[in-house]
Structure 1
Amino acid sequence: MLGNPSVRRRTLLAAAAGIAAAPFAARPAFAANPKVYLDPGHGGTDPGAVANGLQEKALTLNIALQIRNILQANYAVDVRMSRTTDATVSLAQRTDDANAWGATIFVSVHINSGGGTGFESYRYLTSDAATVNLHNALHSRVLSGMRTAGSVTDRGLKTANFHVLRESNMPAVLTENLFIDTVSDANLLKSAAFLTATAQGHANGIAAHLGLSAPPPSFSTIVDNTTAGRFTASANWGTSTFSGQRYGADYRFANPVLASDAAWFKVNIPATANYRVDVWHAADPGYSASAPHVVVTAGGNQTVNLDQRTGGGAWRSLGTFNLAAGDYNAVGVSRWTSAAGYVIADAVRVTRV
């Protein structure tokens, strides 16, 4: 809560008249992972605004912890917080810590008071393009997130001489997430679903500003030689339970010949993307020293030869391949090899990466 202007000057701004705006320091270049600094307002001996059975310091910590968890679970990003517990942290400690860490962006989370209603957000009085971009990305997405869980008034994007905006050396935005002393707003702030929606909106805005992409949907499937409708092989392929290294009930084997006669594993690929292809086979000194495995990629067939005399009873990687979407014979084991010994076809695993 930054409350009315006079309270804000006393508690968070140090915006004394006549103080010239500090020049912006050079923005840190993005590291391998962008660094997001989250600042839950108040804490410890400073409860912030208190009304309707709520304390600002508890609400801001709840929201900020959820923002951190969402970011860490979904993006390649480093997150640091000014506090993760009910601790007393001065304004100078917050900005000094963010500056020393070399944060890419700074986001301060607050709850408003003063008898109004709705959501508003702030950047510094004079801001560069990166700060304006962060402000726009955050404001629109936080508001959208909130509105999935309740009716919220948009109080607009604003500027102010707040300490955390003025003294940070990176793009910085402060959000005021409803009014704790307005009953209708307080009722929303008492809703766990609303707080989660607010956190998600912050995370969405941060990700949009930084150009972060969520990891692809997870996908991994195993096709065994006994999987109904997913394995085909000619009568030249026998069935064996000889080796205890088999995957499942049995495995298939065939003599090498100078003809393909492949055993095929049919895989339903959900989207054109990169996939790791692993195979499982039993191993024996009498098996093939160079068993051809054919992977049907988006750019054409690729063949990988495996020595099946060793390494059995475990998943072995053929590599990572770009596979086209569709339900088709994606991995085959061919008999076309000059190496002596049985060629083995047992199971394949395809995993999106």
Structure 2
Amino acid sequence: MFDDSALRRRTLLAALAGVAAVPVLGGPARAAVPKVYIDPGHGGTDPGAVGNGLQEKALTLDISLQLRSILLANWSVDVRMSRTTDITRSLAYRTDDANAWGADLFVSVHINSGGGTGFESYRYPTTDAATINLHNALHPRVIAGMRSIGSVTDRGLKTANFHVLRETTMPAVLTENLFIDTLADANLLKRADFITATAQGHAQGIASYLGLSTTNPPAFSVIVDNATAGRFTASTNWGTSSYSSQRYGADYRFANPTLASDAAWFKVDIPAAGNYRIEVRHPADPGYNGSAPHVVVTASGNQTVNLDQRSNGGVWRSLGTFPLAAGDRNLVAVSRWTSAAGYVVADAVRVTRV
């Protein structure tokens, strides 16, 4: 946001010196490593908008955490977030924290409500060229990411007197990522691949604004089946079946749930540190598990994603996009440790660099 009080101070000093003052447009000088501040909207006692079984605070955190992972995995940037868990943060905390940190840009992630449809983004009405440049870089790349998954209405670039746009001292944009109370939009927001694509669009927009290379990293994709030699391990508690035609390959593995550690592991050789999309494939059956834990060994620690294996069988299902370290190791586990009933199934894993 352009600080007119600073201009008045410069004008006074210039008048005393007998020279004309010239407004300085654009953000502050950047450090060698750009500082990106990500603000997942709402959180804690403030759920934000709700609808169709979704909460805004959970969606904004999911998008923002993936956005951070993508940025750190692909570019030399420093990232700070207003929250990384489900905690309450005041509006003043968010802007004060970003200002004190000296961020080069601020992106606030939100989900819309009110019966509309589509994506829109905001900047402060009276702003500088740097903020306009950020807005122009971010908006089209987010909408492009969304449209790689489904049909999304572009509601345009807008302005608003929002606190996080008004009180930040660096270029700031707020995104409204679909309408939680519109069924078609909510169905997209429930898709893991849509959330990842939305995060990727934000990352591409930020990288473009900062002048970072947005070329795609070297292509890499590999599938590890439960029968791939030297790439799958499981105890004798896991049976083998070829019953379902939805299986990948000749067979799949299954086991009863138990409150003990007995995971089936898929081993993957990751060629270089970076951001990777991880998908799993399994047959589905009403008698299979409703909350099967899948553990991903990421560069920042293990992350668990629970999948309902009673439906959506025979297709690749995204667990999300994760920062991975280079090396050959056990990467994805299907765990029996769940209180949900029904067989836990381990079939195949696909890992793709994004």
Give TM-score, length-normalised by structure 2: 0.54
Which deviations, in whole Å up to 9, do the C-alpha atoms of 1:175-225 show, x marking residues without a partner? 000000000000000000000000000000000000012699579xxxxxx
Q: In 1, are the aligned partners of 2:208 and 2:214 still within 8 Å (CA)? A: no
Counterpart residue identity of residue 90, structure 1: S
Secondary structure at 2:213 match in 1: coil
Counterpart residue identity of residue 115, structure 1: G
Matches of 1:216 and 1:187 in 2, distance apart?
28
Matches of 1:83 and 1:181 in 2, distance apart?
24
Counterpart residue identity of residue 144, structure 2: S
Cα offset for 1:173?
Answer: 0.1
Other-structure match for 1:146: 146
Other-structure match for 1:86: 86
Other-structure match for 1:48: 48
Counterpart residue identity of residue 121, structure 2: S
Other-structure match for 2:37: 37
Matches of 2:170 and 2:216 in 1, distance apart?
30
Other-structure match for 1:348: none
Secondary structure at 1:67 match in 2: helix
The structure with the larger Rg is 1
From the superposition, tell whether residues 22 and 163 of structure 1 become closer, same or farther in structure 2 (CA, over 3 Å): farther
Other-structure match for 1:176: 176
Other-structure match for 2:76: 76
Give TM-score, length-normalised by structure 1: 0.54
Q: In 2, are the aligned partners of 1:22 and 1:167 still within 8 Å (CA)? A: no
Which deviations, in whole Å up to 9, do the C-alpha atoms of 1:156-190 show, x marking residues without a partner? 00000000000000000000000000000000000
Matches of 2:141 and 2:91 in 1, distance apart?
26
Matches of 1:63 and 1:218 in 2, distance apart?
24
Matches of 2:64 and 2:70 in 1, distance apart?
10
From the superposition, tell whether residues 186 and 99 of structure 1 become closer, same or farther in structure 2 (CA, over 3 Å): same
Other-structure match for 1:109: 109
Q: In 1, are the aligned partners of 2:71 and 2:203 still within 8 Å (CA)? A: yes
Secondary structure at 1:97 match in 2: helix
Secondary structure at 2:122 match in 1: strand
Secondary structure at 1:138 match in 2: helix
Other-structure match for 2:167: 167
Q: In the TM superposition, what are the counterparts of 1:306-321 in structure 2 within 5 Å?
A: none
Cα offset for 1:127?
Answer: 1.2
Counterpart residue identity of residue 94, structure 2: R
Secondary structure at 1:110 match in 2: strand
Matches of 2:5 and 2:148 in 1, distance apart?
36
Matches of 1:189 and 1:148 in 2, distance apart?
14
Secondary structure at 2:80 match in 1: strand
Q: In 2, are the aligned partners of 1:64 and 1:109 still within 8 Å (CA)? A: yes
Q: In 2, are the aligned partners of 1:22 and 1:166 still within 8 Å (CA)? A: no
1:193 matched to 2:206? The reply is no
Give the aligned length.
199
Secondary structure at 2:36 match in 1: strand
From the superposition, tell whether residues 204 and 53 of structure 1 become closer, same or farther in structure 2 (CA, over 3 Å): same
Q: In 2, are the aligned partners of 1:99 and 1:169 still within 8 Å (CA)? A: yes
Other-structure match for 1:211: 211
Q: Extract unaligned runs of 5+ from structure 1.
A: 1-20, 220-353
Counterpart residue identity of residue 72, structure 1: L
Other-structure match for 1:67: 67
Counterpart residue identity of residue 196, structure 1: T
Matches of 1:217 and 1:41 in 2, distance apart?
30
Q: In 2, are the aligned partners of 1:28 and 1:103 still within 8 Å (CA)? A: no
**RMSD of aligned Cα (Å):** 1.9
What stretches of structure 1 move > 6 A for 4+ residues in a row?
none
Secondary structure at 2:37 match in 1: strand
Cα offset for 1:29?
Answer: 1.1
Determine what percentage of the aligned residue pairs are the same residue: 77
Counterpart residue identity of residue 71, structure 1: L
From the superposition, tell whether residues 118 and 140 of structure 1 become closer, same or farther in structure 2 (CA, over 3 Å): same
